[in-house]
């Protein structure tokens, strides 16, 4: 019985790794690395009018009724916006242009500032 459960679990895991899910994951990673242009539109569902539009190389993070939009505005320049979502205000994030993603691509990106702590030396 235990072997059957392990086999079923493994089968479900393998089935969930479709080309579409891999491509979707890769596109999300590209957007989070500011490699894709996005348009994020906030609109009022009651009045059907848009409230705000943010365009650019932006990463979107929705958590607990708040949306954080971080955009790269220059080589080492970023702007971050927080927007509250409610029962009548929602958003739509659109990838402006298509992007080629490889469903077989695998990449690990280390950010040096996370790996190497900020060490202050005393003279």
Per-residue pLDDT of 20-50, as tens digits, reads 888 888 888 888 888 888 888 888 888 888 8
Mean pLDDT by 10 residues, the chain (123 residues): 46 62 83 86 84 88 88 90 86 76 56 61 69
How buried is residue 85: exposed, middle or buried, by Cβ count under 10 Å (0-12/13-18/19+)? middle
Report pTM.
0.63
**What are the structural domain ranges in the chain?**
35-99
Cβ of 4: how many Cβ atoms within 10 Å?
Answer: 8
What's the pLDDT score for residue 70?
A: 92
Q: What is the pLDDT, as a whole number, of residue 106?
A: 56
């Amino acid at each position: 019985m235990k072997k059957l459960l392990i086999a079923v679990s493994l089968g479900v895991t393998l089935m969930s790794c479709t080309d579409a899910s891999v491509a979707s994951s890769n596109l999300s990673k590209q957007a989070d690395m500011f490699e894709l242009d996005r348009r994020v539109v906030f609109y009022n569902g009651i009045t059907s009018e848009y409230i705000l539009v943010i365009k650019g190389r932006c990463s979107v993070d929705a958590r607990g009724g708040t949306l954080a939009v971080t955009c790269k505005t220059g080589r080492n320049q970023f702007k971050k916006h927080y927007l509250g979502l409610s029962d009548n205000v929602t958003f739509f994030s659109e990838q402006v242009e298509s992007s080629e993603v490889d469903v077989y691509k695998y990449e690990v990106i280390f950010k040096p500032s996370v790996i190497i702590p900020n060490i202050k030396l005393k003279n």
